A and B are shown apart, each in its own frame.
Chain A
Amino acid sequence: DAGVTQSPTHLIKTRGQHVTLRCSPISGHKSVSWYQQVLGQGPQFIFQYYEKEERGRGNFPDRFSARQFPNYSSELNVNALLLGDSALYLCASSFSNYGYTFGSGTRLTVV
Protein backbone atom coordinates (compact mmCIF):
# COMPACT_ATOMS: atom_id res chain seq x y z
CA ASP A 1 0.00 0.00 0.00
CA ALA A 2 1.51 3.31 -1.08
CA GLY A 3 2.23 5.95 1.54
CA VAL A 4 1.83 9.67 1.10
CA THR A 5 3.47 10.75 -2.14
CA GLN A 6 4.62 14.25 -2.90
CA SER A 7 5.92 15.80 -6.08
CA PRO A 8 8.29 17.16 -7.04
CA THR A 9 10.95 16.17 -4.53
CA HIS A 10 13.13 19.18 -5.22
CA LEU A 11 12.43 22.50 -6.89
CA ILE A 12 14.37 25.67 -7.57
CA LYS A 13 12.42 28.84 -8.33
CA THR A 14 13.21 32.51 -8.78
CA ARG A 15 11.81 35.26 -6.59
CA GLY A 16 8.42 36.42 -7.82
CA GLN A 17 7.54 33.14 -9.51
CA HIS A 18 4.77 30.83 -8.39
CA VAL A 19 4.93 27.17 -7.50
CA THR A 20 2.49 24.26 -7.26
CA LEU A 21 3.24 21.32 -5.01
CA ARG A 22 1.26 18.10 -5.17
CA CYS A 23 0.29 15.46 -2.66
CA SER A 24 -1.48 12.11 -2.86
CA PRO A 25 -2.72 10.81 0.49
CA ILE A 26 -2.87 7.25 1.71
CA SER A 27 -5.84 5.42 0.26
CA GLY A 28 -8.83 5.89 2.55
CA HIS A 29 -7.50 9.06 4.18
CA LYS A 30 -9.77 12.01 3.51
CA SER A 31 -7.76 14.61 5.42
CA VAL A 32 -4.68 16.31 4.02
CA SER A 33 -2.55 18.86 5.86
CA TRP A 34 0.30 21.01 4.61
CA TYR A 35 3.28 22.09 6.68
CA GLN A 36 6.33 24.24 6.08
CA GLN A 37 9.54 23.19 7.81
CA VAL A 38 12.54 25.46 7.91
CA LEU A 39 15.84 23.79 8.77
CA GLY A 40 16.22 23.32 12.50
CA GLN A 41 12.59 24.11 13.32
CA GLY A 42 9.38 22.22 13.79
CA PRO A 43 6.81 21.93 11.00
CA GLN A 44 4.57 25.00 10.77
CA PHE A 45 0.92 24.39 9.96
CA ILE A 46 -0.30 25.93 6.70
CA PHE A 47 -3.62 24.28 5.81
CA GLN A 48 -5.83 21.33 6.52
CA TYR A 49 -8.42 20.02 4.08
CA TYR A 50 -11.07 17.43 4.74
CA GLU A 51 -13.55 16.19 2.15
CA LYS A 52 -12.42 18.97 -0.19
CA GLU A 53 -13.17 21.74 2.29
CA GLU A 54 -10.67 23.89 4.15
CA ARG A 55 -10.88 23.00 7.82
CA GLY A 56 -7.93 24.93 9.20
CA ARG A 57 -5.50 27.64 8.19
CA GLY A 58 -2.23 28.68 9.79
CA ASN A 59 -0.61 32.11 9.96
CA PHE A 60 0.58 32.32 6.39
CA PRO A 61 -0.04 35.16 3.92
CA ASP A 62 -2.65 35.00 1.18
CA ARG A 63 0.10 34.11 -1.28
CA PHE A 64 -0.37 30.59 0.02
CA SER A 65 -3.44 28.70 -1.16
CA ALA A 66 -4.45 25.08 -1.47
CA ARG A 67 -7.20 22.85 -2.65
CA GLN A 68 -8.29 19.25 -2.40
CA PHE A 69 -9.67 17.24 -5.28
CA PRO A 70 -12.48 14.64 -5.36
CA ASN A 71 -9.87 11.84 -5.15
CA TYR A 72 -8.53 13.55 -1.96
CA SER A 73 -5.22 14.54 -3.54
CA SER A 74 -4.17 18.09 -2.86
CA GLU A 75 -2.19 20.98 -4.26
CA LEU A 76 -0.40 23.76 -2.44
CA ASN A 77 0.15 26.94 -4.42
CA VAL A 78 2.50 29.74 -3.49
CA ASN A 79 2.50 32.98 -5.48
CA ALA A 80 5.06 35.77 -5.66
CA LEU A 81 7.79 33.65 -4.09
CA LEU A 82 10.13 35.22 -1.58
CA LEU A 83 13.55 34.02 -0.48
CA GLY A 84 12.03 33.24 2.90
CA ASP A 85 9.71 30.69 1.33
CA SER A 86 12.67 28.36 0.90
CA ALA A 87 11.87 25.33 3.04
CA LEU A 88 10.79 21.72 3.10
CA TYR A 89 7.06 21.50 2.39
CA LEU A 90 5.44 18.50 3.97
CA CYS A 91 2.10 16.96 3.23
CA ALA A 92 0.43 14.68 5.75
CA SER A 93 -2.68 12.57 5.49
CA SER A 94 -4.71 11.20 8.32
CA PHE A 95 -7.87 9.38 9.23
CA SER A 96 -9.78 11.63 11.60
CA ASN A 97 -6.74 13.53 12.95
CA TYR A 98 -5.18 10.35 14.34
CA GLY A 99 -1.51 9.81 13.63
CA TYR A 100 -0.54 11.87 10.64
CA THR A 101 1.47 10.09 7.94
CA PHE A 102 3.90 12.45 6.28
CA GLY A 103 5.25 12.34 2.78
CA SER A 104 8.95 12.80 2.10
CA GLY A 105 8.37 16.44 1.29
CA THR A 106 9.25 18.90 -1.44
CA ARG A 107 12.46 20.84 -0.93
CA LEU A 108 11.82 24.32 -2.35
CA THR A 109 14.71 26.68 -2.93
CA VAL A 110 13.96 30.25 -3.95
CA VAL A 111 16.87 32.16 -5.49
Chain B
Amino acid sequence: GQQVMQIPQYQHVQEGEDFTTYCNSSTTLSNIQWYKQRPGGHPVFLIQLVKSGEVKKQKRLTFQFGEAKKNSSLHITATQTTDVGTYFCAGLIQGAQKLVFGQGTRLTINP
Protein backbone atom coordinates (compact mmCIF):
# COMPACT_ATOMS: atom_id res chain seq x y z
CA GLY B 1 0.00 0.00 0.00
CA GLN B 2 0.89 3.63 -0.18
CA GLN B 3 3.14 4.54 2.71
CA VAL B 4 4.83 7.62 4.03
CA MET B 5 7.69 6.82 6.39
CA GLN B 6 9.17 9.36 8.74
CA ILE B 7 12.33 9.23 10.84
CA PRO B 8 13.39 9.56 13.54
CA GLN B 9 10.41 8.66 15.71
CA TYR B 10 11.78 10.67 18.63
CA GLN B 11 14.40 13.39 18.95
CA HIS B 12 15.58 15.06 22.12
CA VAL B 13 17.84 18.10 21.81
CA GLN B 14 19.32 20.81 23.94
CA GLU B 15 17.78 24.22 23.38
CA GLY B 16 19.76 25.96 20.67
CA GLU B 17 20.66 22.75 18.81
CA ASP B 18 19.38 22.03 15.33
CA PHE B 19 16.75 19.41 14.49
CA THR B 20 15.91 17.55 11.30
CA THR B 21 13.15 15.10 10.43
CA TYR B 22 13.00 13.10 7.20
CA CYS B 23 10.07 11.80 5.22
CA ASN B 24 10.02 9.16 2.45
CA SER B 25 7.19 7.95 0.29
CA SER B 26 6.90 4.67 -1.58
CA THR B 27 5.11 6.49 -4.40
CA THR B 28 5.39 9.83 -6.16
CA LEU B 29 3.58 12.62 -4.40
CA SER B 30 1.54 15.46 -5.87
CA ASN B 31 2.56 17.57 -2.91
CA ILE B 32 4.00 17.25 0.59
CA GLN B 33 2.57 19.06 3.56
CA TRP B 34 4.01 19.53 7.03
CA TYR B 35 2.04 19.78 10.24
CA LYS B 36 2.86 20.37 13.89
CA GLN B 37 0.86 18.86 16.72
CA ARG B 38 1.36 20.01 20.28
CA PRO B 39 0.67 17.53 23.10
CA GLY B 40 -3.08 17.24 23.54
CA GLY B 41 -3.74 19.29 20.43
CA HIS B 42 -4.56 18.73 16.80
CA PRO B 43 -2.33 18.96 13.72
CA VAL B 44 -1.70 22.51 12.55
CA PHE B 45 -0.70 23.16 8.96
CA LEU B 46 2.78 24.61 8.50
CA ILE B 47 3.54 24.56 4.78
CA GLN B 48 3.00 22.84 1.46
CA LEU B 49 5.63 22.01 -1.17
CA VAL B 50 4.57 21.20 -4.71
CA LYS B 51 7.49 21.48 -7.09
CA SER B 52 10.35 19.04 -7.52
CA GLY B 53 13.41 20.29 -5.59
CA GLU B 54 11.44 23.06 -3.91
CA VAL B 55 12.87 24.70 -0.79
CA LYS B 56 10.85 26.98 1.47
CA LYS B 57 11.79 28.79 4.65
CA GLN B 58 9.74 30.03 7.56
CA LYS B 59 12.03 31.88 9.98
CA ARG B 60 14.13 29.10 11.57
CA LEU B 61 12.33 26.30 9.66
CA THR B 62 13.54 25.05 6.27
CA PHE B 63 11.48 22.62 4.22
CA GLN B 64 12.73 20.67 1.20
CA PHE B 65 10.99 18.51 -1.40
CA GLY B 66 13.11 15.98 -3.23
CA GLU B 67 13.79 15.97 -6.94
CA ALA B 68 11.80 12.75 -7.43
CA LYS B 69 8.93 14.09 -5.30
CA LYS B 70 9.21 11.10 -3.00
CA ASN B 71 11.08 12.55 -0.05
CA SER B 72 11.11 15.66 2.07
CA SER B 73 12.80 17.12 5.12
CA LEU B 74 12.17 19.72 7.79
CA HIS B 75 15.13 21.38 9.46
CA ILE B 76 14.85 23.66 12.47
CA THR B 77 17.82 25.87 13.28
CA ALA B 78 18.60 26.78 16.89
CA THR B 79 15.58 25.12 18.50
CA GLN B 80 13.54 26.94 21.12
CA THR B 81 11.24 25.48 23.76
CA THR B 82 8.27 26.65 21.71
CA ASP B 83 9.30 24.15 19.01
CA VAL B 84 8.27 21.21 21.22
CA GLY B 85 5.70 18.96 19.60
CA THR B 86 5.27 16.24 17.00
CA TYR B 87 6.05 17.11 13.40
CA PHE B 88 4.20 15.21 10.70
CA CYS B 89 4.78 15.10 7.00
CA ALA B 90 1.77 14.26 4.87
CA GLY B 91 1.91 13.34 1.21
CA LEU B 92 -0.87 13.76 -1.31
CA ILE B 93 -0.65 10.57 -3.32
CA GLN B 94 -0.63 11.22 -7.08
CA GLY B 95 -3.86 10.11 -8.69
CA ALA B 96 -5.56 9.35 -5.37
CA GLN B 97 -7.59 11.67 -3.22
CA LYS B 98 -5.89 10.96 0.04
CA LEU B 99 -3.40 12.81 2.19
CA VAL B 100 -1.25 10.17 3.88
CA PHE B 101 0.52 11.07 7.10
CA GLY B 102 3.85 9.82 8.32
CA GLN B 103 4.21 8.47 11.84
CA GLY B 104 5.61 11.78 13.05
CA THR B 105 8.76 12.86 14.85
CA ARG B 106 8.29 13.85 18.44
CA LEU B 107 10.64 16.67 19.40
CA THR B 108 11.46 17.35 23.03
CA ILE B 109 13.84 20.07 24.15
CA ASN B 110 15.98 20.43 27.22
CA PRO B 111 16.03 24.11 28.19
A: residues with CB less than 8 A from B are 33, 35, 41-45, 48, 50, 55-56, 58-59, 90, 92, 97-105
- Can you report 14 residue pairs joining A to B where beta carbons are below 8 Å apart? A35-B101, A42-B6, A42-B101, A42-B104, A43-B43, A43-B101, A48-B99, A55-B97, A59-B1, A97-B92, A97-B97, A100-B33, A101-B45, A102-B43
Residue from B31, B98, B102 having most chain A Cβ neighbours under 10 A: B98
Residue from B1, B6, B99 having most chain A Cβ neighbours under 10 A: B99
Contact B99 A45, beta carbon cutoff 8 Å: yes
Query: For residues 86 through 111 of chain B, which have their beta carbon under 8 Å from a beta carbon of chain A?
Result: 88, 90, 92, 96-104
Contact B45 A41, beta carbon cutoff 8 Å: no
Shortest Cβ distance from residue A87 to the other chain B in the assembled complex, whole angstroms: 13
Q: Give the size range of B's interface with the partner.
A: 20 to 34
Residues of A within 8 A of B78 (CB): none
Annotate B1-19 by CB proximity to A: 1 below 8 A, 0 otherwise. 1000010000000000000
Contact B103 A104, beta carbon cutoff 8 Å: no
Q: How many Å lie between the Cα of A92 and that of B102 in the bound state?
A: 16
Q: How many Å lie between the Cα of A97 and that of B29 in the bound state?
A: 13
Contact A48 B48, beta carbon cutoff 8 Å: no
Contact B99 A42, beta carbon cutoff 8 Å: no
Q: How many Å lie between the Cα of A37 and that of B33 in the bound state?
A: 17
Q: In the complex, what residue of chain B is closest to A97 when comparing beta carbons?
A: B92
Contact A103 B42, beta carbon cutoff 8 Å: yes
Q: How many Å lie between the Cα of A48 and that of B43 in the bound state?
A: 17
Contact B48 A102, beta carbon cutoff 8 Å: no
Shortest Cβ distance from residue B8 to the other chain A in the assembled complex, whole angstroms: 14
Q: Verify if B44 is at the interface (C-beta below 8 Å from A).
A: yes
Q: How many Å lie between the Cα of A42 and that of B34 in the bound state?
A: 12
Residue from A41, A55, A97 having most chain B Cβ neighbours under 10 A: A97
